[in-house]
Amino acid sequence: MRMNLPFSAALSCVCAVSVALAAIPVAGDDRSESPLAQTLRTVQPAMVKVYGAGGFRGLEAYQSGFLFSPEGHILTAYTTVLDTTMLRVVLDDGRRFDAELLGADARLDVAVLKIDAQGLPCLRLDAAADAEAGAPVLALSNMFGVATGNEPVSVQQGAIAIVTDLDARRGTFEIPYKGRVYILDAVTNNPGAAGGAVVTWDGRLLAMLGKELRNTRNNTWINYALPISVLRPSVDAILAGEQSVAGGDHGRPKAARPLTPRALGLILVPDVVPRTPPYVDSVLAGSPASRAGLRPDDLIVFLDDALVPSCRTLREELEYRDHFEVVRLTVLRDRELVEVELSAEGKESRP
């Protein structure tokens, strides 16, 4: 399934483009379309502008995405922009749609949106390629929200500098993902760029642009993209309905005496932003959480089978559980997912 783009192929791609660019008639009356313009003509129509929550304290209310099915499935980054029921998507041709968040995988910061439309241009995930370091790429995104309405999103050129594992630690890079990424040599991960597409110069989909990522220790910024081959299992799970998002309308009343994180022995990190990732700050001694082996710095990813994107969601979800209920938590610890069962009522809590 994984297709590598051989280096030689990538190289010949550069040659073809460079030579062709040099040969473009510049001031002639019948200016022909450059090979790059032809590529963009196929890629741009699949790009979308996503508008949602934010717009304060340096948090943008917009980001990027791209259609990956003619029926309106959109791949985008899982960010605070999606923390709203009023998601709007603007297509390349300027059409506006309300979008539904089908699901997300907080471990990869990837989300799938759906709009109600048919016959849309798209970049198919099963046609995506993998690439090696040195491959010249194009990054398309609505960075800085420059494009509105039917204006095409921005296009940047660059190369994959390295294919590596993102060495993200809490306090260094503020994302949970620690797997394989493409690091790009261009400044692509700007405000609003998350969810953009990385493609080859002949228009093959390679990756999705990640978030703005800053190493808080040395104030450097990393421009990374998530290979489609890495995202694919999550996307498939979301499409299969296996990866829902916690929160929203439960259609039933809250518990009279609900569970709380504290009752389980969990102290979460201070809830400072609309979507503070639910990291465990500390574990109360002798508590169910302690007995189950939970540790500080664990990131709570799932509550039973629902994705928990924030401290707030976790608290709200627990309000629907009675104080005696057994809950299953999945946490991310050192690149491993660890599943535990907890009961606040003194029943067995086990790792």
User: Site residues (CB under 8 A) for other proteins?
Assistant: 7, 11, 14-15, 18-19, 21-22, 24, 26-27, 31, 33-34, 36-37, 39-40, 58, 94, 134, 143-144, 146-157, 186-188, 190-191, 212, 221
Query: How near is the Cβ of 36 to other proteins at its closest, in Å?
Result: 3
Q: Are 288 and 344 in contact (CB under 8 A)?
A: yes
Q: What minimum distance in Å lies between the beta carbon of 24 and other proteins?
A: 6
Instruction: Select 3 or 37, whichever has its Cβ closest to other proteins.
Output: 37
Residue 142 beta carbon to other proteins: minimum distance, rounded to whole angstroms: 10
Asked if residue 290 lies in contact with residue 283, where contact means CB atoms within 8 angstroms, the answer is: yes
Nearer to other proteins, 65 or 261 (CB): 65
- Alpha carbons 292 and 296: distance in angstroms, whole number: 13
Q: How far is the CB of 160 from other proteins (least distance, A)?
A: 14
Provide, rounded to whole angstroms, the least separation between the CB of residue 148 and other proteins: 6
**C-alpha separations of 336 from 128, 167, 209, 301, 339 in Å:** 27, 14, 23, 11, 10
Nearer to other proteins, 13 or 326 (CB): 13
Nearest-approach distance from CB 52 to other proteins, in angstroms: 19
CB 229 within 8 A of CB 206: no
Nearer to other proteins, 85 or 148 (CB): 148
Least Cβ distance, residue 12 to other proteins (angstroms)? 9
Cβ closer to other proteins: 134 or 258? Answer: 134
Is the CB of 159 or the CB of 267 nearer to other proteins?
Answer: 159
In the complex with other proteins, which residue's Cβ is closer, 190 or 330? 190
For other proteins, the closer CB: 58 or 253: 58
Least distance CB 269 / other proteins (angstroms) = 22
CA angle 343, 346, 349 (to 5 degrees): 50
- Judged by beta carbon, residue 184 or residue 238, the one nearer other proteins is 184
CB of 62 to other proteins, least distance (A): 13
